[in-house]
């Protein structure tokens, strides 16, 4: 099947980036929350189940790495104590008093060993977790890619390409980053918090209490600031989305802007949005910027209290001076994992929301599966029959009712009617992009619901008004029409489509790379390539949608010649907009509001002086008026 569908992908809006991450010192952006957090998290974790052993190793490595890092300040404190004791003994003039440098050297060597072990275990932990994350995301991407191939056309028609792409790329990437980085950070933060608390309690419960008491103070002071700055960050994200949307529209439609002289208006609008973004961003950053100085101030008060009380305890010989040094190091480590855990909690919440959107795709209703006893049309002729077909895109709104069509092999059937009459719907039903509600559609006597979709669609070829070419060589684009096509087949099809001449005039000929929008060749040349592709596919039934409406007269002649070659000996369905092109059709179906209101050839329908005659005469009159004006 050759299906020409225009890809109208639009770049994803900015403003989603960084969702859930800190913006500014200690300031978290508003986080999108999942509707079913527990259920989605449970389902996300099910992807990790096959790698339970690897995750267990990651946790063990994280524990070992963190423990070695936590123990180090306490051991370092011993060296400080030994150094202090030696200096005190020397200052008192005790005979033979000296600093035990051998003991201090042993401590230094032990510390070096601990730091090396901690780094090694940390590397192993990250290496294994990266493998787990990538394999998990690989499975998830495979699942969603497989799912998209099983979804009906209805799913894609009801959603923008950007929305679908966002779920397949952005949301999956969010999950990947969290699995690879945030989970290990969360494990490390929790272990560090527990370990540091235990180590501080072993040194001095009193000093630990002083440190813990200062934490609520910082929370009380910063909470009102955080809540106030949240609304400015929210406004900043909203305005940023508006700005990106405006820039995207002005860029994609820059020709229209220039043609109508709206450059100044577009620039003024940009300046207004940019000014609002500056104000919201400045307020958000200024208010959130107060948080860190306040937290530092409160933490410093805590350090002063710890030093004063610790100094008193040292003078009373209740703890050693090295323990005070170790405690101060632990106190500095204590607040970091708390802030990190809060940040990661936001990230995980955003990740679960992203996972929920991915699972929504995986839970979508799929196409009806192929019948077990599928019929195969071994030698298709191209006969199509609609028998009492009823269909509606929505259950409560019927578009087509009791439609009967009988098309014989080799006939050319034209489908005409105003926009929304149901012309494209007829094509969608024939190719089983949508399932009919009642009745039957047969191809060469076989009910299409009893055929494999791929077998059915291989009988059809499509050349539509909106050409579809992918990024690649011209050769590959033509060869897309048939598996295993040879160079000779490709060139032969190009010659039949009157495309060979213009292809050879290009610098790289058939090896010319078409860019993403195929904008490096003209609209007419694109159409000739799609016709060459259809000729190569050699379908029994051809569907044509006015392919010459947007090309110049000379190119139209080439396209019409190519179309004549393509249509010869096939059953053709022509969706016509310009009625002058379908005068020679064997049968013209006139559609309106989903129903066939008139049938017959061109002369018969004109003789009826009905809907078709009105359409034809209105076009003919407008053409005459245009020619007179010219």
Range of weakest confidence among 84-88, 225-229, 356-360, 430-434: 84-88
Query: d(Cα 387, Cα 389) in Å, to the nearest integer?
Result: 5
Higher-confidence residue of 52 and 579: namely 52
Percent of the chain with pLDDT over 90: 3
Query: d(Cα 41, Cα 234) in Å, to the nearest integer?
Result: 26
Q: What is the pLDDT of residue 550?
A: 55
Q: What is the pLDDT of residue 630?
A: 42
Candidates 3.90.226.10, 3.40.50.300, 3.30.1490.110, 3.30.565.10; correct CATH number of 381-459+541-547+570-630?
3.40.50.300
553-567 vs 487-496: helix crossing angle, rounded to 10 = 120
Question: How confident is the model over 94-111, as pLDDT tens digits?
Answer: 666 667 777 778 888 888
Structure tokens belonging to residue 89: 């003994």
Do the domains 24-203+336-364 and 381-459+541-547+570-630 sit in the same CATH topology, yes or no?
Answer: no
* Mean pLDDT along residues 113-142: 89
pLDDT band at 12 (very low <50, low <70, confident <90, very high): very low
Query: d(Cα 516, Cα 533) in Å, to the nearest integer?
Result: 18
pLDDT at 248 over 60: yes
Closest CA to 574 of 538, 532, 539, 545: 545
Structure tokens belonging to residue 209: 């209490």
CB 272 within 8 A of CB 195: no
Greatest mean pLDDT among 1-15, 44-58, 546-560, 572-586: 44-58
Higher-confidence residue of 274 and 515: namely 274
Angstrom distances, CA of residue 244 to CA of 142, 241, 278: 31, 5, 14
* Mean pLDDT along residues 405-433: 84
Query: d(Cα 576, Cα 524) in Å, to the nearest integer?
Result: 18
User: What does the domain layout of the chain look like in residue ranges?
Assistant: 24-203+336-364, 205-318, 381-459+541-547+570-630, 466-538
Query: d(Cα 395, Cα 49) in Å, to the nearest integer?
Result: 40
Q: What is the pLDDT of residue 91?
A: 67
Question: How confident is the model over 308-333, as pLDDT tens digits?
Answer: 887 788 777 777 878 787 888 888 77
Range of weakest confidence among 136-140, 154-158, 223-227, 239-243: 223-227
Q: What is the pLDDT of residue 549?
A: 56
CB 278 within 8 A of CB 243: no
Fold of the CATH domain 466-538: Rossmann fold (3.40.50)
Question: How confident is the model over 34-88, as pLDDT tens digits?
Answer: 677 888 888 888 888 888 899 899 888 888 888 888 888 878 777 777 776 666 6
* Mean pLDDT along residues 495-508: 88
pLDDT at 291 over 80: no
pLDDT at 132 over 50: yes
Beta bridge partners of 36: none
Question: Where are the extended beta strands (E) located within 381-501?
Answer: 384-391, 400-407, 412-416, 438-443, 446-447, 460-463, 472-473
Q: What is the pLDDT of residue 11?
A: 35
Question: How confident is the model over 372-395, as pLDDT tens digits?
Answer: 677 777 788 888 898 988 888 877
Higher-confidence residue of 172 and 374: namely 172
CATH architecture of 24-203+336-364: Up-down Bundle (1.20)
**Mean pLDDT for all residues in the chain:** 79
């Amino acid at each position: 099947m050759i299906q020409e569908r225009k890809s109208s992908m639009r770049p994803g809006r900015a403003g989603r980036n960084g969702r859930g991450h800190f913006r500014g010192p200690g300031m978290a952006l508003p986080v999108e929350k999942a509707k079913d957090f527990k259920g989605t998290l449970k389902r996300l974790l099910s992807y990790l189940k096959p790698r339970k052993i690897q995750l267990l190793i990651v946790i063990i490595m994280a524990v070992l790495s963190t423990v070695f890092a936590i123990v180090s300040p306490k051991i370092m404190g011993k060296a400080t104590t030994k150094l202090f004791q030696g200096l005190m003994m020397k200052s008192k003039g005790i005979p033979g008093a000296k600093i035990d440098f051998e003991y201090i050297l042993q401590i230094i060597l032990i510390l070096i060993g601990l730091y090396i072990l901690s780094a090694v275990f940390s590397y192993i932990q990250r290496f294994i977790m990266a493998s787990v994350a990538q394999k998990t995301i690989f499975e998830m991407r495979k699942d969603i890619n497989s799912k998209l191939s099983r979804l009906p056309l209805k799913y894609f028609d009801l959603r923008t390409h950007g929305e679908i792409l966002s779920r397949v790329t952005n949301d999956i990437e969010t999950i990947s980053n969290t699995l690879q980085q945030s989970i290990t950070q969360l494990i490390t933060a929790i272990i560090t918090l527990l370990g540091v608390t235990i180590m501080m309690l072993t040194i001095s419960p009193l000093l630990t209490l002083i440190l813990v008491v200062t934490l609520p103070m910082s929370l009380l002071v910063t909470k009102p600031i955080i809540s106030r700055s949240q609304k400015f960050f929210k406004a900043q994200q909203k305005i940023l989305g508006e700005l990106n949307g405006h820039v995207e529209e002005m860029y994609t439609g820059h020709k229209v802007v220039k043609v109508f002289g709206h450059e100044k208006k577009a620039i003024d609008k940009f300046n207004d949005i940019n000014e609002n973004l500056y104000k919201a961003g400045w307020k958000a950053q200024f208010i959130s910027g107060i948080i860190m100085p306040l937290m530092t101030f409160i933490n410093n008060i805590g350090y002063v209290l710890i030093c004063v009380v610790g100094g008193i305890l040292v003078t009373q010989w209740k703890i050693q001076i090295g323990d005070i040094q170790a405690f101060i190091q632990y106190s500095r480590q204590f607040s970091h994992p708390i802030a990190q855990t809060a940040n990661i909690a936001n990230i995980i919440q955003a990740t679960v929301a992203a996972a929920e959107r991915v699972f929504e795709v995986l839970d979508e209703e799929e196409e009806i599966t192929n019948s077990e006893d599928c019929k195969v049309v071994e030698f298709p002729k191209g006969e199509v029959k609609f028998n009492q077909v009823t269909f509606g895109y929505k259950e409560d709104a019927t578009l087509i009712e009791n439609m009967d069509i009988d098309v014989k092999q080799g006939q050319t059937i034209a489908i005409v009617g105003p926009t929304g009459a149901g012309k494209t719907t007829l094509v969608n039903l024939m190719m089983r992009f949508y399932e009919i509600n009642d009745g039957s559609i047969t191809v060469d006597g076989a009910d299409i619901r009893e055929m494999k979709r791929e077998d059915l669609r291989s009988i059809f070829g499509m050349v539509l008004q909106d050409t579809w070419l992918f990024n690649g060589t011209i050769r590959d684009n033509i060869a897309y029409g048939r598996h295993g096509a040879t160079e000779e087949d490709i060139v032969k099809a190009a010659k039949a489509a009157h495309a060979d001449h213009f292809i050879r005039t290009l610098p790289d000929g058939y090896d010319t790379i078409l860019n993403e929008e195929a904008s490096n060749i003209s609209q007419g040349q694109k159409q000739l390539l799609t016709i060459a592709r259809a000729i190569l596919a050699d379908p029994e039934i051809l569907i044509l949608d006015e392919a010459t409406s947007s090309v110049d007269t000379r190119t139209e002649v080439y396209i019409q010649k190519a179309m004549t070659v393509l249509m010869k000996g096939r059953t053709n369905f022509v969706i016509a907009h310009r009625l002058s092109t379908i005068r020679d059709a064997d049968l013209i179906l006139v559609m309106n509001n989903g129903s066939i209101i008139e049938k017959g050839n061109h002369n018969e329908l004109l003789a009826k002086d009905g809907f078709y005659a009105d359409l034809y005469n209105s076009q003919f009159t407008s053409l005459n008026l245009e020619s007179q004006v010219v």
